Structure formats: structure tokens, C-alpha cells
Amino acid sequence: MRRCPYLEELVKDQRIMLRVYKFDCHVDHQSKRKYALSDSPPICVRNYEDCHLYRAERRREDQTITRYTD
């Protein structure tokens, strides 16, 4: 499974009709929840390259590396 490198933890909780995904993001240090009726995991384990938090952190890291290699 492809997963965002900044994803700290992902827990799936199955309730009667509802799936609850709980996940922690290393970038904003927030615990988040996503509710879905069918299997629909959060962006962190799908197309995480589209996440604005991922992009911002990746850009910040790339700038740091560039600074050290210049």
C-alpha cells in the first residue's frame, strides 16, 4: 500500500453502517477522522501527492536539501 511518509498512524474502525478512519499527520501534528459509508481510506494512503500539507512539507524539505548541497 502506498502511504504518505508523514502519516504517523492509521486506524480503521468499523461501526454498523459507518467506517471511521483515524489518522495522525506529522506535518500539522493533528489527529484527524474521516467517516465513510463504504471503503474510502483517507488521502494519506491513496494519492497523497495531492495533499496540500504533503506538498508544503516536501517543498520545505527540498529547499533545505538544496541549501545544504549548494
Distance CA 53, CA 4 (A): 11
Q: Closest CB to ligand SF4 among 6 and 19?
A: 6
φ/ψ (deg, to 5) at 55: -60, -45
User: The C-alpha cell of 3 is what?
Assistant: 502511504
Given 12, 19, 34, 53, the residue binding ligand SF4 (CB under 6 A): 53
Q: Is 46 exposed, middle or buried (0-12, 13-18, 19+ CB in 10 A)?
A: middle
Residue 43 lies near ligand SF4 (rule: CB under 6 A): yes
Contact letters (x/-) for ligand SF4, 3-42, by CB under 6 A? -x-xx-----------------x-x---------------
| Binding positions for ligand SF4, rule: CB under 6 A | 4, 6-7, 25, 27, 43-44, 48, 51, 53-54
